[in-house]
Structure 1
Amino acid sequence: MEGVGSPLVAGKERTGGKARGIARRATLSDVAAEAGVSTAVVSYVLNGGPRNVSETTRIAVEQAMEKLNYRRNPVASALTAGRSNLVGLLVPDQSNPFFAELAGEFEREGRARGYLTMLGNTSHDASIELDYVRALADWRVRAVFVASVNEHEFVVDGCPIIYVHSAPAKSRLTAALFDDFGGGITATRHLIAHGYEDIHCLAGPSDFGPFGHRRRGWEAAMSEAGLSTKGRVHYVAASRLEAARQIRDLMMGDRCPRAIFSTSDEQALSVLRAAAEAGKSIPGDVALVGFDGIAEALQGRPRITTIALPLRRLAVEVFNAIEDCGSTDRRHEPLQGQLTIGETCGCQVA
């Protein structure tokens, strides 16, 4: 098994017909030559077997590795061991603050457990998602965490998949999700408790995954209270600027909502922008509750009332689930978000 290290071993390169000395990375053979042993013995030291080596030989090999600054090739190690210390994380759009924060939590938890996280952006494209999974499978990653945009489950041989945040409805693969439906109910009930009746819902560009579950939670709470949902669902763009334009048009129309449940904080931030452009005050003219709990929503001005999701707990749960990869019926209990009161719903806050 070969390895790579710092460029300490001399080699030759021809430039313009002349040979000049260059440095190349140390290999397993270089370590063996330096220590005066076979490459097999170096491999035994690196892998702790399968054959024993004497203490004197082990020290000689380790000193040679240190001298040459040798380090193992992770791909070669993965091919030998059958699995690497790499994990993949696929998100629809890392520029979205929610997915950026989710990726940060996964990277921190992975490092604490000895894993390195490779991040891929699928651009809301199911075919790109599948291409990434296939490529990561070739790297023998320990698992791929997928915030899926695909309504249909796919399986790639030799590549454990764990769905996070969103998953195909009928998937039987391991999945760690949030209680989006329950969160939608909680957010809407909070607005109803303020006495608002004309409560509109800002849904995502499609009804797939969390957006759809949250919209259905709003619908259930409205029905429970005997309030109409007719004409009060608005499917807006994922882009904050485009969503703000659509919401501004709504606010400047004949039926400006008295309250809005936004199925993401990205959209809630678009509401703030649109309200400023339309000359509406929040919450004086339009009350607002978001969903996700991103830092910009919780710490901005005004602070948005939102359902804050436990991203840290999600990261811990999915890394715990790595050992269950490939098993069926591994849908974990949905993680509950917390209603976090800000300045946009009408509550009196300090």
Structure 2
Amino acid sequence: MAKQPTRDDVARLAGTSTAVVSYVVNGGPRNVRPETRKRVLEAIEQLGYRPNASAQSLSRGRSDLFALLVPDLANPYLAELAQRLEEEFFRRDMVLVVGDSHDDQDRESTILEAFRRQQIAGLAWYGVTQPLPLDLLEDASFPVVLLNEPDGQRMGNHSRITRLVADEQEAARIATEHLLQHGRTRVAMVAGPKGRHNARERIRGWRLALRQAGLDEGVVINGPFTRAGGVQAAQALIDSGADAVVVSNELQATGLLRELHRAGVAVPEDIAVVVLNGTALSEFLWPPVTSVDVPVSSQAEAIADFVTGTDRARDLSVTSRLTKRASCGCSYFSKD
């Protein structure tokens, strides 16, 4: 195997010192005369020299890596966010690295520490628990966007940490009101695990819509944010006598729809369905599922703006929108 060219090789060919080669490669800290810079760049091109990324990171105090830490990449919403972030940061000459904690707090801590050792340029973090264990970010020198942190007050005046704020309560209220507009009166809720802040907020929005309509509260079915959680919720939903349901995420909806079909329950004729945090997948479930979405592309852009220093807003706000499809009783082709 041919020996890889080194910085010393570049310096010899360019007729300069290795320090000057470093200044050219790293963009400083000292200025290099234009004619010398040209010789160094020509030598790099001729030799095919590739700078050591780790050494560059140390010299600059950071890398060109941006990190995303999530609890479950099988979640379509988080997978789509990861894809959009990768596109956004690649466009800005940065690289996305992704950690999946598998809903395990110990694994989450280990991954976060590994990211810090890599001297990442920024972090987006969707934590296993809420509130997030912010002590893990103690003395962090990079900007951080918290994707599911409920309490902005705990961050104090830390200008390098912000939240991406999605109104979970409002999203559930929108979903419930839409089902009520279809004449449904017994609306259930497939929520997340008991004790999760986002699960509680979604239940509050569902309850608010029912209360404002003068209707009795339906059944709440708690379970994991997984396909299995949707499967497990199906029989309880059928037994409840509900004629509609708000489902907390697409993974749950996927499992729920399969089990309703197996039980001979027609959607939307017997039970109308609306899902929260929908993605492009909702259109390809059957029937296509009406969803309350948070536009992922705008989230990715806001996150990238913050960590690259373009925007230092204290909170990054996102707005939910209803996408109508067949599962609630709307026309499959509805664009409203």
TM-score, L = length of structure 2? 0.88
Matched, 1:153 2:134: yes
5 Å matches for 1:251-266?
251-253=237-239, 255-266=240-251
1:190 to 170, 178, 184: 178
1:274-321 C-alpha deviation (Å, 9 max, x unpaired): 111111000111111111222221233311011021100101111111
Greater shift after overlay, 279-288 or 88-97? 88-97
1:100 to 76, 79, 89: 79
Match of 2:187 in 1: 199
- The count of aligned residue pairs is 323
Matched, 1:320 2:305: yes
User: How far is 1:190 from its partner?
Assistant: 0.8
Match of 2:199 in 1: 211
Maintained 8 Å contact 1:262/1:291: yes
User: How far is 1:124 from its partner?
Assistant: 1.1
2:322 to 339, 344, 347: 339
1:13-55 C-alpha deviation (Å, 9 max, x unpaired): xxxxxxxxx3333221121123232111212322444444444
Maintained 8 Å contact 2:231/2:256: no
Greater shift after overlay, 104-113 or 61-70? 61-70
2:270 to 285, 290, 295: 285
User: How far is 1:132 from its partner?
Assistant: 1.9
Match of 1:226 in 2: 214
The CA distance in 2 between the partners of 1:122 and 1:280, in whole Å, is 36
Whichever residue aligns with residue 167 of structure 2, its letter is D
The CA distance in 1 between the partners of 2:325 and 2:147, in whole Å, is 24
Match of 1:128 in 2: 107
Maintained 8 Å contact 2:123/2:307: no
Task: Provide structure 2 residue ranges, at least 5 long, that are not aligned to the other structure.
Answer: 156-160
Whichever residue aligns with residue 329 of structure 2, its letter is G
1:86-107 C-alpha deviation (Å, 9 max, x unpaired): 1100111112222111100100
The CA distance in 2 between the partners of 1:140 and 1:337, in whole Å, is 34
1:162 to 144, 160, 164: 144
* CA distance 1:127–1:265, change in 2 (3 Å): same
Whichever residue aligns with residue 237 of structure 1, its letter is P
1:144 to 123, 126, 131: 123
Match of 1:300 in 2: 285
Whichever residue aligns with residue 101 of structure 2, its letter is T
The CA distance in 1 between the partners of 2:205 and 2:143, in whole Å, is 28
The CA distance in 2 between the partners of 1:135 and 1:55, in whole Å, is 39
Maintained 8 Å contact 1:167/1:209: no
1:186-244 C-alpha deviation (Å, 9 max, x unpaired): 111111122212110000124424333222211211122222226x100123331x224
User: How far is 1:176 from its partner?
Assistant: 1.0
Considering only CA atoms, is the larger Rg found in Structure 1 or Structure 2? 1
Matched, 1:249 2:230: no
The CA distance in 1 between the partners of 2:275 and 2:33, in whole Å, is 64
Structure with the larger strand share: 1
Matched, 1:45 2:24: yes
Whichever residue aligns with residue 204 of structure 1, its letter is G
The CA distance in 1 between the partners of 2:308 and 2:37, in whole Å, is 33
Question: What SS does structure 2 have at the residue aligned with 1:195?
Answer: coil
The alignment-based identity, stated in percent, is: 32
Maintained 8 Å contact 2:272/2:329: yes
Whichever residue aligns with residue 247 of structure 2, its letter is S
User: How far is 1:83 from its partner?
Assistant: 1.9
Whichever residue aligns with residue 203 of structure 1, its letter is A
Match of 1:14 in 2: none
The CA distance in 1 between the partners of 2:321 and 2:235, in whole Å, is 31
